[in-house]
Amino acid sequence: MERRLLARNKVSTVVYLSVPGGRFHRCRAKNLSAMGVFLELKAMGLPAGTVVNLVFAVTLGSTIRLHRRRAIVTHINDHGAGLMMQGRPRSGRKEAARG
């Protein structure tokens, strides 16, 4: 039985993943919802419960927009990792205006 509250959408988007303070690893998102994402990734030793930073590289015509989110690893399998988004998207514009 499906436990998801929100529909998943099949995607093929580049995502960069890092643990706080670590370097970024290039991954590919395979499905996405408003609350979560499944990433194809090689074994990185990330246990469930690990908080990670995500940067989605979204192409809009000739422009690439970067969307940053924080997420928590919910499960790992041989194909990749499921992550649940945390909080609201961070906006660099608001942070810059405050600074």
- Supply the pLDDT for residue 15: 95
- Supply the pLDDT for residue 90: 54
CA dist., res. 84 & res. 51, Å (int): 10
Q: What is the pLDDT of residues 31-75, one digit of tens each?
A: 999 899 999 988 778 899 999 999 999 888 999 999 999 999 999
In this structure, is residue 4 part of a structural domain?
no
Query: Is the separation of the CB atoms in 40 and 30 below 8 Å?
Result: yes
In this structure, is residue 1 part of a structural domain?
no
In this structure, is residue 34 part of a structural domain?
yes
CATH code for the domain in which residue 71 is found? 2.40.10.220
In this structure, is residue 2 part of a structural domain?
no
Q: What is the pLDDT of residues 5-27, one digit of tens each?
A: 677 888 888 999 999 889 999 99
Domain that holds residue 16: 9-92
